[in-house]
Structure 1
Amino acid sequence: MSTVELHTLTGAYAVHALPDAEHRAFERHLRDCEACAQEVRELSATAARLGLAVAAHPPLEMRERVLREITTVRQEPPVHERRERSGRGGRTGRWPAYALAACVAAAAAFGGAALWQNQLAQDARQEADRAQRQNQQLAEVLSAPDARTASGELAGGAHGAVVVSESRNRAVFLASGMERPPSGKVYQLWFNDAGAMRSAGLMDPSAGDGAVLLDGPVGRASGMGITIEPAGGSAEPTSSPVALMDFPAA
């Protein structure tokens, strides 16, 4: 397996989805590749947080709904069989209706929980895959031959830099020392399209340092801005910019 192929296995490794041979090969690769090791740590943390939800109990209304619907389903009567035991008269074996209903309810409840847990596991894998793709795109911008960088001071003594790749048509914002936004608020990034602000995604409220891949193509944007918005973001800026940065000239 080539090194290029090994670089693509971080997501599968983080969720323990690699065959034994690939698992061993990737662990040897991890010893020499700090970029993959960092990506695995981030994806494993994400998978672990989502994995906590998998252990949650199914909602109470699921059990009540199953028990309620059982009473409306007509059951076929059981087949009676006679069994001769030790020469004595046979006797009819019957499974009481309430026992059958209880088993059906239990099976439905456990089946529903299993489907629910399976969906959460799929969500974890999709989130890991999404993070892997985003990290790969971020790395491609930062390592692009035509990557250009501009830096500046932000509010509160923080530092910021923006890296733009024309060939990738993407930009990355690098932050250092940014204060956490107020409770219920989030930093939102914007492309500056000749004075019109176009949303470029949200920053993690708990991360004052790190790199963020701006959401969407650079297009004709000449710079970027950062505002503080309500959690979930806004369609357009609702506060004065925390920072405005021009993109580096070609």
Structure 2
Amino acid sequence: MNSVDLHTLTGAYVLDALEPAERAAVERHLADCASCAQEVRELSETVTRLGLAVAAQPGPALRDEVMRRIGTVRQEAPTTVRSARGGHVRPRWRWAPNWALAACFAAAVALGGVAVSQYEQAREAREQALQARIANDAVGAVLASADARVSTAPLRGGAVGTVVVSPSRNQAVFAASGMPAPPSGKVYQLWYNDGGGRMRSAGLMDSGTPAAATLMHGPVDAASGMGITVEPAGGSPRPTSTPVALLAFPTA
């Protein structure tokens, strides 16, 4: 412990990488060394800013270059500082061991990665909430339209399907009661039946809540009805399975 220059432990101190005895020694040193105390404040602020920064994850090339230079580039030229207790001036070398520099870099990258991940999760959650609100408003508008027409029909397995069509809005809403969840890795996909065997995608049902009302994507136009198929996750450009349900749109 006596052979270690306490001036070189500021980086490890900020990263909480010291043994209890070393940490206590550094804290005693900071009370007498204004220069080291200032360095600790600056390093703490830097690590915090790096952790909160919204930036791209550094690539492998950057990390390799930093690790290569750690062993060859000195941290900073020597400076002179005035002792907090006396008036004499003494030289101070601001060196840090290679492992401390590497630890600082690794911690900065880790904190930055966590911040980016948390930011992306929050952004995705906000976007999902916004899309859900827009969809709910659109569903409500179709159901509340003065010319809304409703048709109900039994589905396979005892489920019941209901479709509401609004000619003035050129939109349709579908809901199912008692419909089982699709098989693992599959989704329910809705289709407009344009006649003559032509089926046009109308989007996916929410696999987590198959009983919820779903705004069918795209305009109704001349579609006479709708169908439901089981498709791979993400949906298909055209039906790949026999429809599990076919419903005619209400005409009046």
TM range (shorter): 0.5 to 0.7
Q: Which protein has the larger Cα radius of gyration, Structure 1 or Structure 2?
A: 2
Q: Equivalent residue of 1:216, what SS?
A: coil
- Does residue 68 (structure 1) correspond to residue 68 (structure 2)? The answer is no
Contact 2:172–2:220 (8 Å) recurs in 1: yes
Contact 1:190–1:201 (8 Å) recurs in 2: yes
What is the distance in 1 between the residues matched to 2:189 and 2:169? Answer: 22
Which residue pairs with 1:139 in the alignment?
Answer: 140
TM-superposed CA distance for 1:64, in Å, is 7.0
What is the distance in 1 between the residues matched to 2:217 and 2:65? Answer: 46
Scaled by the length of structure 2, what TM-score is found?
0.67
Q: Equivalent residue of 1:238, what SS?
A: coil
Runs of 5+ unmatched residues, structure 1: 1-60
Assess, with a 3 A threshold, how the Cα gap between structure 1 residues 158 and 90 changes in structure 2: closer, same or farther. same
Within 5 A, what are the aligned runs for 1:13-92? 67-72=63-68, 77-85=75-83, 86=86, 90-92=90-92
Which residue pairs with 2:194 in the alignment?
Answer: 193
Which residue pairs with 1:246 in the alignment?
Answer: 248
Runs of 5+ unmatched residues, structure 2: 1-56
Which residue pairs with 1:40 in the alignment?
Answer: none
Which residue pairs with 2:123 in the alignment?
Answer: 122
Q: Equivalent residue of 2:213, what SS?
A: strand
Per-residue Cα deviation, 1:212-233 (whole angstroms, up to 9, x for no partner): 1111111221110111222222
What is the distance in 1 between the residues matched to 2:65 and 2:124? Answer: 29
TM-superposed CA distance for 1:123, in Å, is 1.0
> What percent identity do the matched residue pairs reach?
51
Instruction: Give, as a single letter, the amino acid of the residue that structure 2 aligns with 1:81.
Output: T
Aligned residues: 190
Instruction: Give, as a single letter, the amino acid of the residue that structure 2 aligns with 1:103.
Output: C
Scaled by the length of structure 1, what TM-score is found?
0.67
> Over the residues paired in the alignment, what is the CA RMSD in angstroms?
2.6
Q: Equivalent residue of 1:140, what SS?
A: helix
Assess, with a 3 A threshold, how the Cα gap between structure 1 residues 73 and 120 changes in structure 2: closer, same or farther. farther
TM-superposed CA distance for 1:87, in Å, is 6.3
- Which piece of structure 1 moves more, 66-75 or 185-194? 66-75
